[in-house]
Structure 1
Amino acid sequence: MPSAPPELSIEVEGVEPAAPAAVPALDFTLTLRAAGGHEVRSLTLATQIRIDATRRGYGERDKERLAELFGPPDEWSRNLSSLLWTQTVTQVPAFTASTKARITVPCTYDFEVAAAKYFHGLEDGEAPLDFLFTGTVFYLDGDRLQAAHLPRRAEAAFSMPVRVWRELMERHFPGGAWVRLGREEFDRLYAYKVRHTLPGWDDVIRSLLAKG
């Protein structure tokens, strides 16, 4: 009779900015445990990370900054919802009983992305995250290599300090932010900059805001 696959539990232990790289990224540390000290030959771990926006409170300033996502405060009871952040796949090597693994999540300061708007909108505290795990675990049944899917209930909650996100963005965009523009809009802004002999893009924005 085939043996049952290892029962795995997964916890998210911490997060820190990834080592300096061309693009900003966060490293999440996972602890994986196999019940009964089973041996796992390898694990293909797919992770969906969602922002459970309903799991924390918000001050008035937060609500102002998050209005584009959730609307005015009197509509939050209807609009506050979970947001998809990202999906990633990690290969976990062989282990017995327990091991640690790292999920590296590329991050963006593109304000067309809902997750970037959310993290930027929080002044302090923690961002509530849900990690939903799927994938395939490989294990030995006698001398035969077997494979089994992770159960659908494999998930973990984690509260990410907002300061970690802010430190990461400050490292890659010191003192600034990033806004994506269409080519036509950029050409018009550039023509405005040249026409008014403005030295920098901050000067362009200040000039337009003053006229508004």
Structure 2
Amino acid sequence: MSELTFSVLGVEPEPYAVTPTLAAHVGVAGASDDPVHAIALRCQVRIEPSRRSYADQEEPGLLDLFGPRERWAETQRTFLWQHTAAMVPGFSGAATTALPLPCTYDFEVAASKYLHALRDGTVPLQFLFSGTVFFKGDSGFRVQQVPWHCDDHYDMPVSVWRTLIATHFPDRGWVRLEHDTIAALASYKSQRGLLNLDDAVASLLTARAETP
């Protein structure tokens, strides 16, 4: 069997994607020069929160995920970000491929909440590779599975995530509300002559802050 290794070389925003998408550039190398016909590559991407420290200003955004800071040693567990896949074209020796990482700004998704809370530093990621490798020989094709032990760790700069979100949601974000809540908020806005729902929420937050 031909042994393959996988390593994450970098992660950057996909500039021409319609929806927010990062591209993880993965290097694939073989132990020999045996030609690989193709790889149906699959990958599970996980976030490892315990592999970095956190500033005080990041703590409020992490409260829903991990509780108060004194509990983080127990509550910060590796969690799934997403599954992704790509077809790697044929090569001999080594090749590079891009894994698409679709992103969302939905605050009900744990990964989005975690990424939004970070202000600086890196996002500790783990890539768990699997899939099927196709080799072409004299008598036809032979198939080999990517071993489950193939993985890599990568620290993605937080700035990469922030650049992606700023490109697709410039100076704006979004939250999902119940229809009744939206109707009540719209009514509150109209009754007070506010310009938009953002002003209505800001007014409510100000009123709440001024309440003893």
TM-score (norm 2): 0.94
Instruction: After superposing the two structures, state which structure 1 stretch, 175-184 or 164-173, moved more.
Output: 175-184
Partner of 2:86: 90
The Cα of 1:21 is off from its aligned counterpart by 3.0
| Length, aligned pairs only | 208
Deviations 1:122-176 (A, max 9, x none): 1100000000011100113432201111111010110000001001111111112
Q: Quick one: which amino acid aligns to residue 70 of structure 2?
A: D
Deviations 1:78-119 (A, max 9, x none): 101112111011111111111010011111111001111111
Are residues 1:209 and 2:205 paired? Answer: yes
Q: Quick one: which amino acid aligns to residue 34 of structure 1?
A: G
Partner of 1:69: 65
Are residues 1:172 and 2:168 paired? Answer: yes
The Cα of 1:59 is off from its aligned counterpart by 1.8
2:183 to 159, 183, 187: 187
Q: Would you say the 8 A contact 2:47–2:79 is kept in 1?
A: yes
Distance across 2 between alignment mates of 1:62 and 1:100 = 35
Overall identity of the aligned pairs, in %:
38
Distance across 1 between alignment mates of 2:24 and 2:178 = 34
CA RMSD of aligned residues (A): 1.1
Q: Gaps spanning 5+ residues in structure 2: where?
A: none
Distance across 2 between alignment mates of 1:179 and 1:158 = 29
The Cα of 1:63 is off from its aligned counterpart by 2.0
Q: Quick one: which amino acid aligns to residue 17 of structure 1?
A: P
The Cα of 1:64 is off from its aligned counterpart by 2.3
Q: Gaps spanning 5+ residues in structure 1: where?
A: none
Partner of 1:29: 25
Task: List structure 1 runs of 4+ shifted beyond 4 angstroms.
Answer: none
Are residues 1:14 and 2:10 paired? Answer: yes
Distance across 2 between alignment mates of 1:21 and 1:151 = 31
The Cα of 1:22 is off from its aligned counterpart by 2.3
Map residues 125-204 of structure 1 onto 2, 5 A cutoff. Answer: 125-204=121-200
